[in-house]
Structure 1
Amino acid sequence: MPLFDHLGELRRRLTIVVVSVFAAAIVLYFATPVVLDILEDPIRSFVPDGKFYITTTLGGFGLRFSLAIKMAVVMCTPMIIWQILAFFLPALRPNERKWVVPTVLASTVLFFLGAIFCYFIIIPAGFEWLIGETSAVATALPDLENYVNMELLFMIGFGVAFELPLIIFYLSVFHIVSYAAFRGAWRYVYVGLLVGSAVITPDGSPVTLGLMYGALLSLYEISLAIARVVITAREGKEGLFVSRLDLFSDDEDDEE
Protein backbone atom coordinates (compact mmCIF):
# COMPACT_ATOMS: atom_id res chain seq x y z
CA MET A 1 0.00 0.00 0.00
CA PRO A 2 1.06 3.64 -0.41
CA LEU A 3 2.54 5.37 2.63
CA PHE A 4 -0.63 7.27 3.53
CA ASP A 5 -2.67 4.06 3.35
CA HIS A 6 -0.22 2.47 5.79
CA LEU A 7 -0.58 5.46 8.10
CA GLY A 8 -4.36 5.25 7.84
CA GLU A 9 -4.27 1.56 8.74
CA LEU A 10 -1.98 2.30 11.68
CA ARG A 11 -4.31 5.06 12.89
CA ARG A 12 -7.31 2.71 12.63
CA ARG A 13 -5.63 0.04 14.73
CA LEU A 14 -4.38 2.54 17.30
CA THR A 15 -7.91 3.91 17.56
CA ILE A 16 -9.24 0.42 18.23
CA VAL A 17 -6.65 -0.05 20.99
CA VAL A 18 -7.33 3.32 22.65
CA VAL A 19 -11.12 2.99 22.52
CA SER A 20 -10.98 -0.58 23.86
CA VAL A 21 -8.69 0.36 26.74
CA PHE A 22 -10.82 3.41 27.58
CA ALA A 23 -14.04 1.37 27.58
CA ALA A 24 -12.46 -1.33 29.75
CA ALA A 25 -11.12 1.33 32.14
CA ILE A 26 -14.60 2.77 32.64
CA VAL A 27 -15.97 -0.64 33.60
CA LEU A 28 -12.98 -1.45 35.80
CA TYR A 29 -13.22 1.91 37.61
CA PHE A 30 -16.48 0.79 39.20
CA ALA A 31 -14.96 -2.63 39.95
CA THR A 32 -11.84 -1.25 41.67
CA PRO A 33 -13.05 -2.08 45.23
CA VAL A 34 -13.16 -5.74 44.25
CA VAL A 35 -9.83 -5.52 42.40
CA LEU A 36 -8.20 -3.79 45.37
CA ASP A 37 -9.46 -6.49 47.71
CA ILE A 38 -7.88 -9.13 45.47
CA LEU A 39 -4.58 -7.23 45.32
CA GLU A 40 -4.52 -6.70 49.10
CA ASP A 41 -5.21 -10.34 49.91
CA PRO A 42 -1.67 -11.82 49.52
CA ILE A 43 -0.01 -9.04 51.57
CA ARG A 44 -2.66 -8.19 54.17
CA SER A 45 -1.32 -10.68 56.71
CA PHE A 46 2.10 -8.98 56.69
CA VAL A 47 0.72 -5.45 57.19
CA PRO A 48 0.42 -4.16 60.80
CA ASP A 49 -3.19 -4.72 61.92
CA GLY A 50 -4.03 -5.65 58.33
CA LYS A 51 -5.03 -2.05 57.55
CA PHE A 52 -4.08 0.20 54.64
CA TYR A 53 -4.22 3.99 54.54
CA ILE A 54 -4.78 6.79 52.02
CA THR A 55 -3.31 10.04 53.28
CA THR A 56 -4.46 12.59 50.67
CA THR A 57 -7.87 13.98 49.72
CA LEU A 58 -7.63 12.92 46.08
CA GLY A 59 -5.76 9.73 46.87
CA GLY A 60 -8.79 7.47 46.57
CA PHE A 61 -9.89 8.85 43.22
CA GLY A 62 -6.33 8.88 41.87
CA LEU A 63 -5.77 5.29 42.96
CA ARG A 64 -9.03 4.05 41.42
CA PHE A 65 -8.40 5.90 38.15
CA SER A 66 -4.78 4.74 37.89
CA LEU A 67 -5.67 1.17 38.77
CA ALA A 68 -8.52 1.10 36.24
CA ILE A 69 -6.20 2.27 33.43
CA LYS A 70 -3.45 -0.22 34.31
CA MET A 71 -5.82 -3.14 34.67
CA ALA A 72 -7.53 -2.18 31.39
CA VAL A 73 -4.19 -2.32 29.57
CA VAL A 74 -3.45 -5.71 31.12
CA MET A 75 -6.89 -7.11 30.30
CA CYS A 76 -6.64 -5.82 26.72
CA THR A 77 -3.18 -7.31 26.21
CA PRO A 78 -4.36 -10.08 23.82
CA MET A 79 -6.19 -7.55 21.65
CA ILE A 80 -3.23 -5.15 21.68
CA ILE A 81 -0.82 -7.90 20.62
CA TRP A 82 -3.21 -8.95 17.87
CA GLN A 83 -3.53 -5.39 16.51
CA ILE A 84 0.25 -5.04 16.39
CA LEU A 85 0.75 -8.33 14.57
CA ALA A 86 -2.25 -7.74 12.26
CA PHE A 87 -0.69 -4.48 11.09
CA PHE A 88 2.38 -6.39 9.86
CA LEU A 89 0.42 -9.43 8.66
CA PRO A 90 0.09 -8.35 4.98
CA ALA A 91 3.88 -8.10 4.73
CA LEU A 92 4.42 -11.70 5.83
CA ARG A 93 4.78 -14.69 3.54
CA PRO A 94 2.06 -17.37 3.71
CA ASN A 95 4.34 -19.78 5.59
CA GLU A 96 5.10 -17.02 8.13
CA ARG A 97 1.47 -16.06 8.70
CA LYS A 98 0.71 -19.43 10.25
CA TRP A 99 2.82 -18.37 13.26
CA VAL A 100 0.74 -15.26 14.02
CA VAL A 101 -2.17 -16.83 15.91
CA PRO A 102 0.06 -19.22 17.94
CA THR A 103 2.30 -16.25 18.77
CA VAL A 104 -0.64 -14.20 20.07
CA LEU A 105 -1.91 -17.12 22.14
CA ALA A 106 1.52 -18.08 23.49
CA SER A 107 2.54 -14.53 24.39
CA THR A 108 -0.79 -13.92 26.13
CA VAL A 109 -0.64 -17.16 28.10
CA LEU A 110 2.98 -16.55 29.11
CA PHE A 111 2.24 -12.99 30.25
CA PHE A 112 -0.65 -14.04 32.46
CA LEU A 113 1.28 -17.05 33.76
CA GLY A 114 4.03 -14.67 34.84
CA ALA A 115 1.53 -12.37 36.56
CA ILE A 116 -0.20 -15.30 38.31
CA PHE A 117 3.14 -16.79 39.39
CA CYS A 118 4.09 -13.40 40.81
CA TYR A 119 0.76 -12.98 42.62
CA PHE A 120 0.85 -16.34 44.40
CA ILE A 121 4.60 -16.90 44.89
CA ILE A 122 6.61 -13.70 44.61
CA ILE A 123 4.38 -11.07 46.20
CA PRO A 124 3.82 -12.83 49.55
CA ALA A 125 7.51 -13.66 49.94
CA GLY A 126 8.73 -10.29 48.66
CA PHE A 127 6.37 -8.14 50.73
CA GLU A 128 6.97 -10.21 53.86
CA TRP A 129 10.69 -9.48 53.55
CA LEU A 130 10.23 -5.80 52.65
CA ILE A 131 7.71 -5.07 55.41
CA GLY A 132 9.90 -6.95 57.87
CA GLU A 133 12.85 -4.74 56.95
CA THR A 134 10.71 -1.63 57.48
CA SER A 135 9.33 -2.82 60.82
CA ALA A 136 12.88 -3.41 62.06
CA VAL A 137 13.69 0.29 61.88
CA ALA A 138 10.34 2.13 62.05
CA THR A 139 6.61 1.78 62.40
CA ALA A 140 5.13 0.90 59.01
CA LEU A 141 2.21 3.06 57.83
CA PRO A 142 1.03 1.12 54.76
CA ASP A 143 0.05 3.58 52.06
CA LEU A 144 -2.43 1.71 49.83
CA GLU A 145 -1.48 3.53 46.62
CA ASN A 146 2.23 2.85 47.13
CA TYR A 147 1.69 -0.81 47.95
CA VAL A 148 -0.68 -1.41 45.03
CA ASN A 149 1.62 0.33 42.53
CA MET A 150 4.56 -1.74 43.75
CA GLU A 151 2.50 -4.92 43.47
CA LEU A 152 1.44 -4.09 39.91
CA LEU A 153 5.07 -3.40 38.98
CA PHE A 154 5.95 -6.85 40.29
CA MET A 155 3.20 -8.51 38.26
CA ILE A 156 3.90 -6.61 35.04
CA GLY A 157 7.65 -7.25 35.40
CA PHE A 158 7.13 -10.99 35.78
CA GLY A 159 4.57 -11.02 32.97
CA VAL A 160 7.08 -9.43 30.60
CA ALA A 161 9.92 -11.65 31.86
CA PHE A 162 7.87 -14.77 31.12
CA GLU A 163 7.93 -13.84 27.41
CA LEU A 164 11.56 -15.02 27.37
CA PRO A 165 10.77 -18.59 26.18
CA LEU A 166 8.91 -17.25 23.15
CA ILE A 167 11.83 -15.02 22.17
CA ILE A 168 14.41 -17.78 22.60
CA PHE A 169 12.21 -20.25 20.72
CA TYR A 170 11.80 -18.00 17.68
CA LEU A 171 15.46 -16.99 17.61
CA SER A 172 16.41 -20.67 17.54
CA VAL A 173 13.72 -22.06 15.24
CA PHE A 174 14.19 -19.32 12.62
CA HIS A 175 17.98 -19.70 12.93
CA ILE A 176 18.58 -16.07 13.78
CA VAL A 177 20.83 -17.48 16.48
CA SER A 178 21.59 -21.18 16.38
CA TYR A 179 20.55 -23.54 19.14
CA ALA A 180 24.21 -24.57 19.48
CA ALA A 181 25.22 -20.94 20.05
CA PHE A 182 22.70 -20.57 22.86
CA ARG A 183 23.81 -23.83 24.42
CA GLY A 184 27.51 -23.08 24.04
CA ALA A 185 27.18 -19.60 25.54
CA TRP A 186 25.27 -20.73 28.61
CA ARG A 187 27.70 -19.00 31.00
CA TYR A 188 27.11 -15.60 29.41
CA VAL A 189 23.36 -16.19 29.27
CA TYR A 190 23.17 -17.17 32.94
CA VAL A 191 25.03 -14.03 33.96
CA GLY A 192 22.84 -11.94 31.64
CA LEU A 193 19.70 -13.42 33.17
CA LEU A 194 21.00 -12.56 36.63
CA VAL A 195 21.58 -8.95 35.60
CA GLY A 196 18.20 -8.85 33.88
CA SER A 197 16.50 -10.18 37.01
CA ALA A 198 18.09 -7.43 39.06
CA VAL A 199 16.85 -4.81 36.59
CA ILE A 200 13.31 -6.17 36.25
CA THR A 201 12.56 -6.66 39.95
CA PRO A 202 11.34 -3.26 41.20
CA ASP A 203 12.51 -3.66 44.81
CA GLY A 204 15.94 -5.23 44.35
CA SER A 205 15.50 -7.46 47.40
CA PRO A 206 17.43 -10.77 47.42
CA VAL A 207 14.20 -12.73 47.85
CA THR A 208 12.45 -11.48 44.70
CA LEU A 209 15.74 -11.38 42.79
CA GLY A 210 16.43 -15.02 43.59
CA LEU A 211 12.91 -16.14 42.70
CA MET A 212 12.95 -14.16 39.45
CA TYR A 213 16.35 -15.59 38.52
CA GLY A 214 15.24 -19.14 39.23
CA ALA A 215 12.08 -18.68 37.15
CA LEU A 216 14.00 -17.19 34.19
CA LEU A 217 16.61 -19.95 34.25
CA SER A 218 13.89 -22.59 34.22
CA LEU A 219 12.03 -20.88 31.37
CA TYR A 220 15.24 -20.48 29.38
CA GLU A 221 16.11 -24.16 29.64
CA ILE A 222 12.54 -25.24 28.86
CA SER A 223 12.41 -23.02 25.76
CA LEU A 224 15.71 -24.41 24.51
CA ALA A 225 14.52 -27.97 25.08
CA ILE A 226 11.34 -27.32 23.06
CA ALA A 227 13.33 -25.57 20.32
CA ARG A 228 15.70 -28.56 20.09
CA VAL A 229 12.79 -30.97 19.66
CA VAL A 230 11.19 -28.81 16.93
CA ILE A 231 14.43 -28.19 15.03
CA THR A 232 15.57 -31.83 15.21
CA ALA A 233 12.18 -33.12 14.06
CA ARG A 234 12.11 -30.70 11.13
CA GLU A 235 15.74 -30.55 10.00
CA GLY A 236 17.70 -33.17 11.89
CA LYS A 237 20.61 -32.49 14.21
CA GLU A 238 22.34 -30.43 11.53
CA GLY A 239 19.71 -27.73 12.03
CA LEU A 240 20.95 -27.16 15.57
CA PHE A 241 24.05 -25.46 14.16
CA VAL A 242 22.43 -23.35 11.43
CA SER A 243 22.53 -19.63 12.15
CA ARG A 244 22.04 -16.40 10.23
CA LEU A 245 23.92 -14.57 12.95
CA ASP A 246 27.09 -16.35 14.03
CA LEU A 247 27.33 -15.35 17.67
CA PHE A 248 29.58 -17.32 20.02
CA SER A 249 30.75 -19.40 17.07
CA ASP A 250 33.80 -20.53 19.04
CA ASP A 251 31.54 -22.26 21.53
CA GLU A 252 29.62 -24.39 19.03
CA ASP A 253 32.04 -27.26 19.51
CA ASP A 254 30.74 -27.57 23.09
CA GLU A 255 27.41 -28.95 21.78
CA GLU A 256 27.00 -32.53 22.87
Structure 2
Amino acid sequence: MNTETRTQIIVFLSELRRTIKYTGLSLILVTVGLFLYSNSLIPLLQDHLGEKLYFFSVAGPFLAHVKVSFFGALYILMPLLTLVLWKSMGKAFGVEGKSLAGFVAATCALFYAGTVFCYLVTLPYGVQFLLGFQSEDLKAVISIGKFVNFVTIFILAFGLIFELPVFMVFSAKVGLFSRQTFERNRRFAVLGIAILAAVLTPTPDVVNMALMGCPLYLLYEVGIFVIRLMGIEKRV
Protein backbone atom coordinates (compact mmCIF):
# COMPACT_ATOMS: atom_id res chain seq x y z
CA MET A 1 0.00 0.00 0.00
CA ASN A 2 1.55 3.29 -1.11
CA THR A 3 1.55 6.53 0.90
CA GLU A 4 -1.25 8.14 -1.15
CA THR A 5 -3.61 5.21 -0.67
CA ARG A 6 -2.82 5.09 3.04
CA THR A 7 -3.59 8.80 3.35
CA GLN A 8 -6.89 8.39 1.48
CA ILE A 9 -7.96 5.59 3.81
CA ILE A 10 -7.07 7.66 6.88
CA VAL A 11 -9.05 10.64 5.57
CA PHE A 12 -12.03 8.38 4.77
CA LEU A 13 -12.07 6.81 8.24
CA SER A 14 -11.63 10.20 9.89
CA GLU A 15 -14.57 11.70 8.00
CA LEU A 16 -16.68 8.64 8.70
CA ARG A 17 -15.92 8.82 12.41
CA ARG A 18 -17.22 12.40 12.60
CA THR A 19 -20.71 11.40 11.54
CA ILE A 20 -21.00 7.88 12.91
CA LYS A 21 -22.38 9.07 16.27
CA TYR A 22 -25.33 10.90 14.68
CA THR A 23 -25.91 8.13 12.16
CA GLY A 24 -25.95 5.52 14.92
CA LEU A 25 -28.36 7.62 16.98
CA SER A 26 -30.70 7.96 13.98
CA LEU A 27 -30.57 4.21 13.45
CA ILE A 28 -31.48 3.54 17.09
CA LEU A 29 -34.37 6.02 17.10
CA VAL A 30 -35.90 4.68 13.88
CA THR A 31 -35.46 1.09 15.11
CA VAL A 32 -37.33 1.93 18.31
CA GLY A 33 -40.07 3.66 16.33
CA LEU A 34 -40.49 0.72 13.96
CA PHE A 35 -40.53 -1.71 16.88
CA LEU A 36 -43.90 -0.26 17.85
CA TYR A 37 -45.24 -1.40 14.46
CA SER A 38 -43.21 -4.60 14.10
CA ASN A 39 -46.37 -6.74 14.32
CA SER A 40 -47.22 -5.38 10.88
CA LEU A 41 -43.71 -5.80 9.47
CA ILE A 42 -43.28 -9.55 10.01
CA PRO A 43 -46.37 -10.47 7.93
CA LEU A 44 -44.78 -8.55 5.01
CA LEU A 45 -41.74 -10.83 5.17
CA GLN A 46 -43.93 -13.87 5.73
CA ASP A 47 -46.03 -13.12 2.66
CA HIS A 48 -44.18 -15.60 0.43
CA LEU A 49 -43.95 -18.34 3.05
CA GLY A 50 -47.48 -19.65 3.42
CA GLU A 51 -46.53 -21.41 6.65
CA LYS A 52 -46.93 -20.67 10.33
CA LEU A 53 -43.91 -19.51 12.30
CA TYR A 54 -42.91 -20.89 15.69
CA PHE A 55 -40.51 -19.92 18.44
CA PHE A 56 -38.41 -22.18 20.64
CA SER A 57 -37.25 -19.80 23.36
CA VAL A 58 -38.96 -17.27 25.61
CA ALA A 59 -37.12 -14.36 24.00
CA GLY A 60 -37.58 -15.66 20.45
CA PRO A 61 -40.53 -13.44 19.37
CA PHE A 62 -39.05 -10.33 21.01
CA LEU A 63 -35.67 -10.77 19.31
CA ALA A 64 -37.36 -11.41 15.96
CA HIS A 65 -39.29 -8.15 16.27
CA VAL A 66 -36.08 -6.30 17.16
CA LYS A 67 -34.28 -7.74 14.12
CA VAL A 68 -37.13 -6.82 11.79
CA SER A 69 -37.24 -3.30 13.23
CA PHE A 70 -33.48 -2.88 12.81
CA PHE A 71 -33.63 -4.14 9.23
CA GLY A 72 -36.50 -1.77 8.53
CA ALA A 73 -34.49 1.12 9.97
CA LEU A 74 -31.55 0.26 7.72
CA TYR A 75 -33.90 0.14 4.76
CA ILE A 76 -35.52 3.49 5.51
CA LEU A 77 -32.26 5.24 6.39
CA MET A 78 -30.32 3.92 3.40
CA PRO A 79 -30.30 7.38 1.70
CA LEU A 80 -28.77 8.89 4.86
CA LEU A 81 -26.26 6.06 5.26
CA THR A 82 -25.37 6.34 1.58
CA LEU A 83 -24.87 10.10 1.86
CA VAL A 84 -22.58 9.69 4.87
CA LEU A 85 -20.55 6.99 3.15
CA TRP A 86 -20.11 8.87 -0.12
CA LYS A 87 -19.30 12.19 1.55
CA SER A 88 -16.52 10.44 3.44
CA MET A 89 -15.24 8.69 0.32
CA GLY A 90 -15.58 11.88 -1.73
CA LYS A 91 -13.49 13.79 0.79
CA ALA A 92 -10.77 11.16 0.66
CA PHE A 93 -10.69 10.68 -3.12
CA GLY A 94 -11.56 14.19 -4.30
CA VAL A 95 -15.07 13.44 -5.61
CA GLU A 96 -17.56 16.23 -4.96
CA GLY A 97 -20.37 18.33 -6.41
CA LYS A 98 -22.55 16.77 -9.11
CA SER A 99 -20.39 13.65 -9.27
CA LEU A 100 -20.92 12.99 -5.59
CA ALA A 101 -24.67 13.62 -5.88
CA GLY A 102 -24.79 11.21 -8.81
CA PHE A 103 -23.08 8.48 -6.82
CA VAL A 104 -25.49 8.97 -3.90
CA ALA A 105 -28.56 8.84 -6.15
CA ALA A 106 -27.33 5.81 -8.11
CA THR A 107 -26.41 3.92 -4.95
CA CYS A 108 -29.86 4.44 -3.42
CA ALA A 109 -31.69 3.58 -6.64
CA LEU A 110 -29.73 0.35 -7.22
CA PHE A 111 -30.03 -0.72 -3.58
CA TYR A 112 -33.81 -0.40 -3.60
CA ALA A 113 -34.02 -2.00 -7.05
CA GLY A 114 -32.03 -5.00 -5.77
CA THR A 115 -34.17 -5.45 -2.68
CA VAL A 116 -37.44 -5.18 -4.63
CA PHE A 117 -36.16 -7.65 -7.22
CA CYS A 118 -35.23 -10.08 -4.46
CA TYR A 119 -38.56 -9.71 -2.63
CA LEU A 120 -40.73 -10.06 -5.73
CA VAL A 121 -38.73 -12.54 -7.83
CA THR A 122 -35.89 -14.46 -6.18
CA LEU A 123 -37.23 -14.90 -2.66
CA PRO A 124 -40.63 -16.40 -3.61
CA TYR A 125 -38.99 -18.92 -5.92
CA GLY A 126 -36.34 -19.85 -3.36
CA VAL A 127 -38.84 -20.34 -0.55
CA GLN A 128 -41.17 -22.34 -2.80
CA PHE A 129 -38.30 -24.60 -3.87
CA LEU A 130 -37.09 -25.25 -0.33
CA LEU A 131 -40.56 -25.94 1.03
CA GLY A 132 -41.25 -28.22 -1.93
CA PHE A 133 -39.46 -31.02 -0.07
CA GLN A 134 -42.31 -31.29 2.45
CA SER A 135 -44.40 -34.44 2.50
CA GLU A 136 -47.05 -36.07 4.64
CA ASP A 137 -44.33 -37.39 6.91
CA LEU A 138 -42.05 -34.34 6.71
CA LYS A 139 -43.64 -31.05 7.72
CA ALA A 140 -41.93 -27.69 8.13
CA VAL A 141 -41.66 -26.20 11.61
CA ILE A 142 -40.00 -22.87 10.96
CA SER A 143 -38.41 -20.79 13.70
CA ILE A 144 -39.39 -17.12 13.54
CA GLY A 145 -35.84 -16.09 14.46
CA LYS A 146 -34.14 -18.10 11.72
CA PHE A 147 -36.78 -17.08 9.19
CA VAL A 148 -36.27 -13.38 9.91
CA ASN A 149 -32.48 -13.83 9.66
CA PHE A 150 -32.80 -15.67 6.36
CA VAL A 151 -35.14 -13.19 4.69
CA THR A 152 -33.58 -9.93 5.90
CA ILE A 153 -29.98 -10.95 5.18
CA PHE A 154 -30.95 -12.31 1.77
CA ILE A 155 -32.81 -9.11 0.79
CA LEU A 156 -30.00 -6.92 2.13
CA ALA A 157 -27.39 -8.96 0.22
CA PHE A 158 -29.28 -8.42 -3.03
CA GLY A 159 -29.44 -4.71 -2.38
CA LEU A 160 -25.70 -4.54 -1.80
CA ILE A 161 -24.58 -6.60 -4.79
CA PHE A 162 -26.71 -4.42 -7.07
CA GLU A 163 -24.27 -1.62 -6.24
CA LEU A 164 -21.67 -3.19 -8.54
CA PRO A 165 -21.88 -0.59 -11.36
CA VAL A 166 -21.56 2.31 -8.91
CA PHE A 167 -18.32 1.05 -7.43
CA MET A 168 -16.99 0.12 -10.87
CA VAL A 169 -17.53 3.71 -12.03
CA PHE A 170 -16.08 5.10 -8.82
CA SER A 171 -12.96 2.92 -9.04
CA ALA A 172 -12.44 4.05 -12.63
CA LYS A 173 -12.97 7.72 -11.75
CA VAL A 174 -10.41 7.72 -8.94
CA GLY A 175 -7.91 5.67 -10.95
CA LEU A 176 -8.06 2.33 -9.13
CA PHE A 177 -9.17 0.34 -12.19
CA SER A 178 -9.71 1.30 -15.82
CA ARG A 179 -12.51 0.42 -18.21
CA GLN A 180 -10.00 -1.69 -20.14
CA THR A 181 -9.28 -3.67 -16.97
CA PHE A 182 -12.95 -4.55 -16.57
CA GLU A 183 -13.26 -5.45 -20.25
CA ARG A 184 -10.19 -7.70 -20.19
CA ASN A 185 -11.38 -9.57 -17.12
CA ARG A 186 -14.94 -10.42 -18.16
CA ARG A 187 -14.28 -14.16 -17.84
CA PHE A 188 -13.10 -13.73 -14.26
CA ALA A 189 -16.14 -11.57 -13.57
CA VAL A 190 -18.41 -14.35 -14.86
CA LEU A 191 -16.64 -16.87 -12.62
CA GLY A 192 -16.86 -14.60 -9.59
CA ILE A 193 -20.54 -13.87 -10.22
CA ALA A 194 -21.29 -17.60 -10.57
CA ILE A 195 -19.55 -18.34 -7.27
CA LEU A 196 -21.32 -15.45 -5.55
CA ALA A 197 -24.70 -16.58 -6.87
CA ALA A 198 -24.06 -20.13 -5.67
CA VAL A 199 -23.16 -18.91 -2.18
CA LEU A 200 -25.89 -16.28 -1.69
CA THR A 201 -28.93 -17.88 -3.30
CA PRO A 202 -31.08 -19.96 -0.95
CA THR A 203 -31.24 -22.95 -3.32
CA PRO A 204 -28.53 -24.68 -5.39
CA ASP A 205 -30.60 -25.08 -8.57
CA VAL A 206 -29.53 -23.43 -11.83
CA VAL A 207 -32.70 -21.33 -12.22
CA ASN A 208 -32.36 -19.64 -8.84
CA MET A 209 -28.64 -19.02 -9.39
CA ALA A 210 -29.47 -17.48 -12.77
CA LEU A 211 -31.99 -15.15 -11.11
CA MET A 212 -29.06 -13.58 -9.27
CA GLY A 213 -26.21 -14.20 -11.69
CA CYS A 214 -27.81 -12.82 -14.87
CA PRO A 215 -28.85 -9.43 -13.42
CA LEU A 216 -25.45 -9.15 -11.74
CA TYR A 217 -23.57 -9.74 -14.99
CA LEU A 218 -25.87 -7.30 -16.74
CA LEU A 219 -24.98 -4.73 -14.08
CA TYR A 220 -21.29 -5.47 -14.72
CA GLU A 221 -21.78 -4.61 -18.39
CA VAL A 222 -23.78 -1.52 -17.40
CA GLY A 223 -20.82 -0.41 -15.30
CA ILE A 224 -18.48 -0.73 -18.30
CA PHE A 225 -20.95 1.14 -20.51
CA VAL A 226 -21.32 4.01 -18.03
CA ILE A 227 -17.53 4.33 -17.69
CA ARG A 228 -17.28 4.57 -21.47
CA LEU A 229 -20.19 7.02 -21.61
CA MET A 230 -18.57 9.26 -19.01
CA GLY A 231 -15.32 9.25 -20.97
CA ILE A 232 -13.23 7.84 -18.12
CA GLU A 233 -10.44 6.36 -20.23
CA LYS A 234 -7.48 6.52 -17.89
CA ARG A 235 -5.44 3.35 -18.14
CA VAL A 236 -4.31 1.75 -14.91
Q: Does 1:41 align with 2:47?
A: yes
The amino acid of 1:243's aligned partner reads R
In structure 2, C-alpha distance between the alignment counterparts of 1:102 and 1:33, rounded to whole Å: 36
Q: How does 1:1-256 map to 2 (within 5 A)?
A: 11-44=17-50, 47=51, 51-91=52-92, 93=94, 96-98=95-97, 99-135=99-135, 138-201=138-201, 203-206=202-205, 207-231=207-231, 239=233, 242-244=234-236
In structure 2, C-alpha distance between the alignment counterparts of 1:7 and 1:185, rounded to whole Å: 30
Q: CA RMSD in A?
A: 2.5
Range that drifts further, 155-164 or 72-81: 72-81
8 Å contact from structure 1 (residues 176, 243) kept in 2? no
8 Å contact from structure 2 (residues 179, 227) kept in 1? yes
In structure 2, C-alpha distance between the alignment counterparts of 1:132 and 1:120, rounded to whole Å: 19
Per the TM alignment, residue 76 of structure 1 is displaced from its structure 2 partner at its CA by 1.5
SS in 2 for 1:133: coil
| Structure 2 unmatched ranges of 5 or more | 1-11
SS in 2 for 1:43: coil
Q: Deviations over 1:222-242 (max 9, x none)?
A: 2222222222xxx7xxx3xx4
8 Å contact from structure 2 (residues 16, 84) kept in 1? no
**Aligned residues with identical type, % of pairs:** 24
In structure 1, C-alpha distance between the alignment counterparts of 2:22 and 2:230, rounded to whole Å: 36
In structure 2, C-alpha distance between the alignment counterparts of 1:220 and 1:137, rounded to whole Å: 45
In structure 2, C-alpha distance between the alignment counterparts of 1:208 and 1:161, rounded to whole Å: 16
| Structure 1 unmatched ranges of 5 or more | 1-5, 245-256
In structure 1, C-alpha distance between the alignment counterparts of 2:136 and 2:196, rounded to whole Å: 29
Match of residue 6 from structure 2: none
Alpha carbons of structure 1 residues 187 and 67: separation in structure 2 relative to 1, 3 Å: same
Match of residue 254 from structure 1: none
Range that drifts further, 115-124 or 29-38: 29-38
Q: How many residues align?
A: 223
Query: Normalization by structure 2: what TM-score?
Result: 0.83
Answer with 1 or 2: which has the greater Rg. 1
The amino acid of 2:53's aligned partner reads F
In structure 1, C-alpha distance between the alignment counterparts of 2:93 and 2:130, rounded to whole Å: 48
Match of residue 7 from structure 2: none
Range that drifts further, 59-68 or 128-137: 128-137
SS in 1 for 2:132: helix
8 Å contact from structure 2 (residues 15, 91) kept in 1? no
